[in-house]
């Protein structure tokens, strides 16, 4: 079933949530729309989707390119009761939920490259963009953007797609998986989220080079994700904790 406002409302109803929805056939970016709605006071679980984005965005300022009508593109407004240092857990939970949805709907063994790429085989089928605004020492809002190529990938090097996945079905499965484990106020949330993500993380056990946002270069074996969502890398100098940045897997 193609996405529509009705499909978005139905997806929220399936998880027992009532919140505003918005669907645009064409938009600059679902993320920009959701951020504006969040700034205006939209409640948690507000859901924005589109059939095509003209200015889709990825992490670190990258462009996200979609084939019109051949991608799931949604952004979700959250207002988690979570210490800001643990904000990376939201991205990990979204990654796990998206991988679980791909297995359920398309029957593929999707995995995650830390922190936000969705991998199917050797290709990138999707990604996650998480942006947040703080109010003092807490989150005012967090917006989770999800993009997944469906049917056929765009003409982008390394891209792939879920060949037989329906956008509405994939959204339903993603929201269901995410909602079941989204308990940011619970003391077990950090450990449970990290444990779930480890099960689908393709980065663990590989040799990596990390270029962090602080300008440091770290090289070693990715051995864990911690309870803040950071990647733990064993280097010749000891353990390094990578909280954000670019990861390159070394063959």
Give yes or no for a contact between 36 and 24, defined as CB atoms under 8 angstroms apart.
no
214, pLDDT greater than 80: no
Q: What is the pLDDT of residue 64?
A: 65
SS3 label, residue 234: strand
Q: What is the maximum span of the chain, computed from C-alpha positions, in angstroms?
A: 54
pLDDT score at 38? 98
Q: Which domains does the chain have, with CATH numbers?
A: 5-200 (3.30.930.10), 207-250 (2.30.30.100)
pTM of this structure: 0.93
pLDDT in tens, 192-207: 999 999 999 999 999 9
| Residue 55 pLDDT | 77
Q: Which residues pair with 148 in a beta bridge?
A: 72, 126
Q: What is the pLDDT of residues 142-166, one digit of tens each?
A: 999 999 999 877 788 889 999 878 9
- Model pLDDT for residues 47-99, shown as the tens digit of each residue: 999 999 997 665 545 666 677 778 999 999 999 999 999 999 999 999 999 99
What is the average pLDDT score of the chain? 92
């Amino acid at each position: 079933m193609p996405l529509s406002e009705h499909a978005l409302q139905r997806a929220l109803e399936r998880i027992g949530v009532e919140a505003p929805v918005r669907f645009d056939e064409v938009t600059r970016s679902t993320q920009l729309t959701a951020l504006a709605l969040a700034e205006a006071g939209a409640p948690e679980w507000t859901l924005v989707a589109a059939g095509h984005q003209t200015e889709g965005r990825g992490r670190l300022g990258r462009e996200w390119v979609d084939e019109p009508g051949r991608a799931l593109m949604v952004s979700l407004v959250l207002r988690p009761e979570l210490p800001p240092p643990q904000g990376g857990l939201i991205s990990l939970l979204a990654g796990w939920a998206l991988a679980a949805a791909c297995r359920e709907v398309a029957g593929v063994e999707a995995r995650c490259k830390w922190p936000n790429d969705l991998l199917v085989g050797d290709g990138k089928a999707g990604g996650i963009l998480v942006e947040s605004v703080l109010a003092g020492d807490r989150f005012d809002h967090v917006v989770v953007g999800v993009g997944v190529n469906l049917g056929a990938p765009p003409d982008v090097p390394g891209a792939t797609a879920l060949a037989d996945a329906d956008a509405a079905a994939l959204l339903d499965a993603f929201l269901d998986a995410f909602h079941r484990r989204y308990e940011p106020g619970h003391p077990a949330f950090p450990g449970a989220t990290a444990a779930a993500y480890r099960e689908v993380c393709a980065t663990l056990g590989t040799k990596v080079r990390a270029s962090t946002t602080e300008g440091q270069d770290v090289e070693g074996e990715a051995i864990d994700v911690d309870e803040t969502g950071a990647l733990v890398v064993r280097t010749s100098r000891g353990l390094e904790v990578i909280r954000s940045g670019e990861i390159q897997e070394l063959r």
